[in-house]
C-alpha cells in the first residue's frame, strides 16, 4: 500500500527525486507530520471546510456517515469497512472526503516513477522510498529499487530503522543511500515518545554500518523530547561511532501537518509551535565539528 508519489522533491537526497510514500509505520511518534501514513490500511480523511451543505453523496454510500442537526458530517469510523472505503473513493465531488492509500502494483509504481527519469539522470537524482516505514514492505521496496538500478537510477530510503534486520537485508543490495532517523539514544524516553525499541534500532545501525553504504542520520529536533544540548550531543556521539556515517541533518520540528490529525479524527499530543532555537542547533553543529573523533569528518546540516 502506498499513498503518494511526490515529484520534483529537492530536499530528500541528491538531485531531483521522486519520493514514493508507503503506508504503514512501526512507530507512533507523537510529532509525526504524516499521520495518514501510520496505518498500513487505507485511511479516511475528512475536511469540513470543503463539504457542501446540500450534498449527501457520501451518506448515500454508507450509514456510517451522517449529517448532524448542525449540518456537520459525523463519521462513525469503527463502522467503516474496506468495502465502504471502496465506495467512498469516488463519491465525494468536492474532495472533502478522501480515501488515502492505494494498492501498490510494482509495475504501475515503476512506470510512474520512471516518468521523471530524464530529470534524475540530468541531476544525479533518483527515487527515494519513504513512508510510513518503507521497511515494513521490504519486498516491494527491493523489487522497485532493483528495477530502478536496472534503469541506472540511484535509490535512497528514508527509514526509522525500526524493522527486523532481515527486512533491511532484503533491500540492502538495491538501496544506495540510507536516510535514517535517529531520534534519541535513551531507550526509555524513546519508548515513551515513539512506542518503539531503541535496542533494535541501535543494533540495526551497527550492522548496517558494516556494509559500507552511505548513511545520513536525520534527527527531528522536537521540543520537550530531544531539544537539549546533552541529548543532541549523545546522538552525535552515536553517529560518530558508526564508521560509514559522515552526515547528520538536524531537522527542526515543524507543525505543517498538524491539521491532518483533525481530518483523521486523531488527537495531537505534540507541541503546536515549531522549534525556534537556532542556538541549540548551532551549538550541536559546533560540537560535531570539533569532536575529537571527527577525524572522519562529520558534516552537520541544519534544515528548516
Partner 1 sequence: MNLNYLAKRIIDHKHQLINILTPSVCTERAQTYTKVYQENEHKPVVVQRALALQEHLRTRTIWIKHDELIIGNQASKVRAAPIFPEYTVRWLEAEIDDLADRPGAGFAVSEEDKENIHKLTPYWRGKTVQDRCYGLFTDEQQELLASTIIKAEGNMTSGDAHLAVDNEKILRIGLNGLIDEVRGHRAKIDLADFEDLKREQFLKSVEIVLLAVQQHIVRYAELAEKMATQETREERSQELQTIATNCRLIVFNKPESFWQALQLCYFVQLVLQIESNGHSVSFGRMDQYLHRFYKQDVKTDKTLSREFALELLQSCWLKLLEVNKIRSGAHSKASAGSPLYQNVTIGGQNLAADGTASDAVNSLSWAILESCGQLRSTQPNLSVRYHQGLNQEFLMACIDVIKCGFGMPAFNNDQIVIPEFIKLGVEKHDAYNYSAIGCIETAVPGKWGYRCTGMSFINFARILLASLDEGRDATSGKVFLASDKSLAKGNFKHFDEIMTAWSEQIRYFTRKSIEIDCVVDSVLEQQVQDIFCSSLVDDCLSRGKTAKEGGAKYDWVSGLQVGIANLGNSLSAIKHLVFDQPQITQPELAQALASNYATSEGELLRQRLLNFAPKYGNDDDSVDQLITLAYNAYIDELAKFHNTRFGRGPIGGEYYAGTSSISANVPFGAATMATPDGRKAGTPLAEGASPSSGSDTLGPTAVYNSVAKMPVNKILGGVLLNQKLTPAAVESEGDMVKLSMLIRTFFNHHKGWHVQYNIVSRDTLLAAKANPESYRDLVVRVAGYSAFFTALSPDAQDDIIARTEHNL
H or E element, residue 61 = helix 57-61
The smaller minimum CB distance to partner 1, of residues 36 and 116, is found at 116
Contact flag: residue 52 with ligand SF4 (CB under 6 A): yes
Stretch that binds ligand SF4, among 94-102, 136-144, 222-230, 232-240 (CB under 6 A): 94-102
Q: Are 31 and 270 in contact (CB under 8 A)?
A: yes
Q: Is residue 75 a contact point for ligand SF4 (CB under 6 A)?
A: no
Q: Which of 94, 203, 206, 299 binds partner 1 (CB under 8 A)?
A: 94
Alpha carbon distance 80, 82 (integer Å): 7
* 232 half-sphere exposure, CB direction, 13 A CA radius: 28
Is 57 among the residues that bind ligand SF4 (CB under 6 A)?
yes
List 30, 66, 123, 271, residue binding partner 1 (CB under 8 A): 123
**SS3 call for 212:** coil
7 lies in the binding site for partner 1 (CB under 8 A): yes
Size of site (CB under 8 A) for partner 1: 23
Q: How far apart are the first and last CA of the chain?
A: 30
Question: Contact letters (x/-) for partner 1, 230-269, by CB under 8 A?
Answer: ----------------------------------------
> What is the distance between the alpha carbons of residues 26 and 222, in angstroms, rounded to a whole number?
19
- Residues whose CB falls within 8 Å of the CB of residue 228, separated by 6 or more in sequence, listed in order: 280
63 binds partner 1 (CB under 8 A): no
Please report whether residue 51 would count as binding ligand SF4 according to CB under 6 A: yes
Q: What are the b/e assignments for 35-74, b being 16+ CB within 10 Å? A: bbbbbbebbbbbbeeebeeebebbeebbebbeeeeeeebe
Interaction site with partner 1 (CB under 8 A): 6-8, 10, 15-16, 52-55, 57, 90, 93-95, 115-116, 118-119, 121-123, 125
What residues line the site for ligand SF4 (CB under 6 A)? 51-52, 55-58, 73, 91-92, 94, 96-97
Amino acid at each position: 500500500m502506498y499513498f503518494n508519489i511526490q515529484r520534483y522533491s529537492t530536499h530528500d537526497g541528491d538531485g531531483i527525486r521522486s519520493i514514493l510514500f508507503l503506508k504503514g509505520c512501526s512507530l507512533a511518534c507523537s510529532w509525526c507530520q504524516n499521520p495518514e501514513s501510520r496505518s498500513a490500511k487505507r485511511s479516511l480523511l475528512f475536511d469540513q471546510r470543503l463539504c457542501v451543505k446540500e450534498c449527501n453523496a457520501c451518506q448515500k454510500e454508507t450509514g456510517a456517515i451522517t449529517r448532524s442537526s448542525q449540518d456537520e458530517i459525523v463519521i462513525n469510523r469503527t463502522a467503516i469497512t474496506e468495502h465502504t472505503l471502496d465506495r467512498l473513493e469516488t463519491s465525494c465531488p468536492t474532495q472533502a472526503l478522501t480515501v488515502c492509500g492505494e494498492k501498490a502494483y510494482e509495475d504501475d509504481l515503476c512506470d510512474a516513477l520512471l516518468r521523471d527519469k530524464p530529470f534524475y539522470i540530468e541531476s544525479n537524482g533518483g527515487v527515494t522510498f519513504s513512508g510510513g516505514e518503507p521497511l515494513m514492505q521490504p519486498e516491494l521496496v527491493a523489487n522497485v529499487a532493483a528495477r530502478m538500478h536496472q534503469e541506472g537510477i540511484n535509490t535512497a530510503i528514508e527509514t526509522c530503522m525500526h524493522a527486523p534486520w532481515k527486512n533491511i537485508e532484503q533491500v540492502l543490495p538495491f538501496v544506495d543511500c540510507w536516510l535514517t532517523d535517529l531520534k534519541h539514544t535513551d531507550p526509555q524516553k524513546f519508548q515513551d515518545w515513539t512506542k518503539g525499541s531503541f535496542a533494535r534500532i541501535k543494533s540495526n545501525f551497527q550492522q548496517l554500518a558494516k556494509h559500507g553504504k552511505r548513511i545520513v542520520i536525520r534527527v527531528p529536533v522536537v521540543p520537550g523530547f530531544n531539544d537539549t544540548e546533552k541529548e543532541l550531543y549523545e546522538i552525535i556521539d552515536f553517529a560518530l561511532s558508526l564508521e560509514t556515517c559522515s552526515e547528520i541533518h538536524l531537522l527542526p520540528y515543524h507543525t505543517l501537518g498538524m491539521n491532518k490529525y483533525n481530518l483523521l479524527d486523531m488527537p495531537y499530543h505534540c507541541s503546536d509551535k515549531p522549534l525556534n532555537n537556532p542556538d541549540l542547533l548551532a551549538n550541536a553543529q559546533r560540537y560535531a565539528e570539533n569532536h575529537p573523533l571527527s577525524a572522519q569528518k562529520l558534516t552537520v546540516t541544519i534544515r528548516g
